[in-house]
Every structure is written in structure tokens, then in C-alpha cells.
A and B are shown apart, each in its own frame.
Chain A
């Protein structure tokens, strides 16, 4: 049976390479998570299981001021970035998808550029922008949100546009034939159909924002605008306890939970688009 499907023989070597690769890519992180639960101060010697670095009274994620503030600031940036980038990106995706003609090509290129610009170039550019052109805004939370929105915007556009293509134009045209004015076509037909993609892109933006390092670091002002990634960078080598591992674990769980939730929402609703259309068209 498997010989029929695969006339090249069993790829034992490939199985081995893939298995070793998957182990190599996951196990180190799994060990780092394991040590977040170490019942001692070591990050290299296992001293028994405990949750003291998450909830303990001293030096834990939930009680150490620096760790807690970095987690809060990371989540704050994530939420603000989603709130700005998602509507901006959805509107840009709709506009770019339907607007043909003079200028649309170059806008398209500019929209894709942040995806391929090395982050350090964007970091330096935004740093100089806020130092030299907008000293009024300066560095700090606002600058960090603006910086993150600037490169997450493109992800929203790409995701939403993919969905727009798969929806096609039929639904709008039906709505138009039934006499719906343009505003209703947009708000009552297109947007409900896009909802799964909007949720998915919001989740992706949130996850990227939480994991972002370079731009966020370049635009931070002081300790109060330090994020989890920045703390990982500055204390990975000198960290005295596994509390840093615990912090990274908490951030990882938040990221993965967000993405898993968005995936479920997408699968639940993007599949049943006909039902969504029916609901949207029902006056």
C-alpha cells in the first residue's frame, strides 16, 4: 500500500532528519519552561517542582515589580497595537483591493515594504523620526505603539485581502441588485463576511506585538516602558533566578492561547460563510 503511494521507498533518512530537527527546535524551549518550575534558584540544576517563580511571595512574576511591570507594559502595547492596526489595516485592505489605477501600484509596494525591511533599519528610522521630527511625542509608550503599528499593519492587509479574494464580489453585487446602498453593502455584507479574517489578523498583530523586540527597544524611554522581550534581552545572561523563565513562559502561554482562540474562531466562521451571508442579508 505505502509502496504504491510512494514508489521511492521509505525515506528513513528523511524521517530521522525531521525527527531530530523537531526535537532540536522544541526541546531547549521545553527545558527552559521546565526550569521555570524549578524549586531553587538554579537555571541549570533541577531541584524539584514548584510554582514559586510564578506566584511566590518574593521575586516571582506576580510579585517582583520589574517583572510585573514588563508584563503589564507588554500586554498594554499589544492591546493598543491591535486597536490601531486592525481598523487601519482592514480599511487599507478594502481600499487597495478595489482601487485600481494611478497610485495603487506604488501604495501596494509601500504597504509590503515594512514586511521585508530589516527591523534594525526600521528601529533606527523611527528612533530618528521621534528624536528629530516629533520631539513632542518623543520616546515611550506612544512611540512604541506607533512603531509596532507601522509594521503590523501589513500583516492585517495581507490576511484581510486573502479573505476578500476568497469571498469574491458576488455577495456585494447581490446586495446591490436588491437595492442596498453602498454603505450597507460595506457594513452589512462585506464586514460580517470579513469578521473571521479580522479576528485572525487581530490575533496575529497581538502575538507579533508581544514578541516584538527591536522596534520596541529602540523606542522605549526608560524602565517603565520595558517589555518582556527587552527584559529577556537585558537579563538573560545575568538572571539570578528562574523567574525570567517563568516570565517568558507566561508570555508564551498568552501568545499561544490568543492564536489558538483565533484559529478556532476562524475555522468555525470562515467555513460557514454562506450562513454568515444569509444572516447579513436578513434585514
Chain B
């Protein structure tokens, strides 16, 4: 065994200090501004001491939400967009991950490469690609028109006018969210499906289960941890997204909570209310974050135990 225990603590020290200042203190700054005040120039004045905290701005936002005001609308829209996008992502991602994990054979490497590739393409470039395609006269607009999808969407009420994909359509935002985040869901799904022992499924089949029963009673339950972890992994950034609605909708009709926060903090001068909304969002997401950390922590504990 090398060195003393202090060697290791000393090595960890700079990283710990960095995260304390630039992560933990930064998060506390959000709390202090949310429970702070603003001066006559509407600059935020944080109250660092919890004893001084001013609950005024927090109460205003909570009252707005309680009385069905604008923030409630935005929060509900965010939940709707993320919920629908997540469901669609699972519907697309699960079969793809299943195929990649179970049926690819000698094409496995190539299929995996194709699944990983979008991961490393700039998210905004992927959005730019759709903006090019769905603009007036874009190839996507033409194809969607020619194959009748445009008419179908208009008939279903999912699109308000011909060729108007990028003009204030919540449908486009949801499709763009799916496009943007589904690669990040497929990889954890693939990992969990790949880990399933093939023999368990064979045993189910030997005992008389139909392929569907074997899937529903064996594969699906065994892949549930992957489904949950992957869903959390993409739901978290989706909840904080503001650029996707900005880029493919560009209308207040598609504002998610991220847009509201972005307008108040980065662009605008209502930083206190922005901090309150950030804090609320973080609290809502805390459950998801805790779940994900717990699942990675137990995997992590296995790692550390494996080495000891």
C-alpha cells in the first residue's frame, strides 16, 4: 500500500476545492438571490445570511402558480412537452436498442457506431440541420408535403398551416426534442439490454412462453433499470432546455420553463424572479437527480468494492 491516507486526500484537495467554490457556492448564490432583493436599477441584491432572507419574490411566484397564472402555464407546458417527447423517445429508442443488443451479429460494431455518432455532433448543428430542412422550400418541407404527412398533421390539428413547420408549432418542438435527445436514451437502454443473460430468455421459451410472453415477463422487467436511468438522463436536460423551442418555434406559444428562466436571467433584468424559477425547477428535478445518483452510486460502489 502506497503512501499515507493523507497523500490521497491531498491529491483530491484541489478538485474538491474547485467543486466547492464553483459548484456548491454557485448554487448557493442562486438561493441567496432568490431570497434576496433588487435595487432601483433592478439589479439583484443577494442576501447571504439565511436569517435575512426575503421571501417576497418566492411568494409572488408561488401565488402566481397557485392561482393558475403564467408560470403555472409554462410549467405545465414544460411537463407536457417533456412527457410526450420522452414517451416518443422510448417508443423509438427501445426497439432500436433491442435490435442493436440482440440481433446485430457481425454488424454490431457498425450499428453501434451509427448509434453513437449523433452523440458527438453538436446539438445546435443538429437543430440547424432541421431548420435548413423545414424552412420554406427546404427538402424536408417538400418531402413531408409530397408524402402527405403535412396534410395528415394539419388534419390532426398538429400543424396550423402548410409549410409552417418552424412558425410557432409545439409539434415541431416535441419532434426536435425527440431528435435531440433520443441518442442519449438509446445507449443506457442498449447497455441494460445487452447485460441480460440470453439463457434466461431461452429458459422462458423452453418452459412454454411465447416470444411475446418471454419479452413481457423476462426481457422487459430486466431492462426496467435501463429504461428508468435512460429516461431520467434525457428528462433532466429536456426540462432545462430553452434553445430548442427558440430555434424551431420562435414563439411564446412554445415557451418552456427554460425559456422563462433564460429571458429573466441571461437576457433580462428580472434576475431575482429568474433565480426563484431556477430554484423551483431544481427542486422539482431533485427527485430525478437523486434517483439517478443512487443508481450510479451503487454501480460505483461495486466498482470500488471490486478493487478493494
Question: How long is the Cα–Cα vector from A127 to B27 in the complex, in angstroms?
Answer: 10
Considering only CB atoms, which chain A residue lies closest to B235 in the complex? A118
Q: Closest CB-CB distance, A97 to chain B, in whole Å?
A: 7
Q: Which of A218-252 contact B (CB under 8 A)?
A: 218, 228-229, 232-233, 236-237, 244-245, 248, 251-252
Query: In the complex, are the beta carbons of B266 and A169 less than 8 A apart?
Result: no
**What's the interface size class on A, roughly?**
35 or more
Query: In the complex, are the beta carbons of B111 and A18 less than 8 A apart?
Result: yes
Give chain A residues whose Cβ lies under 8 Å from the Cβ of B140.
28
Partner of A127, one of B1, B124, B265: B265
Considering only CB atoms, which chain B residue lies closest to A95 in the complex? B12
Question: How long is the Cα–Cα vector from A132 to B32 in the complex, in angstroms?
Answer: 10
Flag A29-57 by CB within 8 Å of B: 1 or 0 each: 10110010000000111000000000000
Does A71 count as interface, using CB distance less than 8 angstroms?
Answer: no
Query: In the complex, are the beta carbons of B46 and A128 less than 8 A apart?
Result: yes
Considering only CB atoms, which chain B residue lies closest to A107 in the complex? B16
Does B61 count as interface, using CB distance less than 8 angstroms?
Answer: no
Flag A1-29 by CB within 8 Å of B: 1 or 0 each: 00001111101011101100110111011
Q: Which of B8, B114, B126 has the most CB of A within 10 A?
A: B8
Residues of chain B at the chain A interface (Cβ within 8 Å): 1-3, 5, 7-16, 18-20, 22-27, 29-30, 32-33, 44, 46, 92, 95-96, 98-100, 103, 105, 111, 114-115, 117-118, 120-133, 135-140, 166, 179, 182-183, 202, 205, 211, 232, 236-237, 239-243, 246-247, 250, 258, 261-262, 265-266, 271, 274-275, 278, 281-282, 285, 288-289, 292-293, 296-297, 300, 303-304, 306-307
Residues of chain A at the chain B interface (Cβ within 8 Å): 5-9, 11, 13-15, 17-18, 21-22, 24-26, 28-29, 31-32, 35, 43-45, 88-89, 91-92, 94-99, 101, 107-114, 116-129, 131-133, 146-147, 149-150, 153, 157, 161-162, 164-165, 168-169, 172-173, 175-176, 182, 185-186, 207, 210-211, 213-214, 217-218, 228-229, 232-233, 236-237, 244-245, 248, 251-252, 255-256, 259
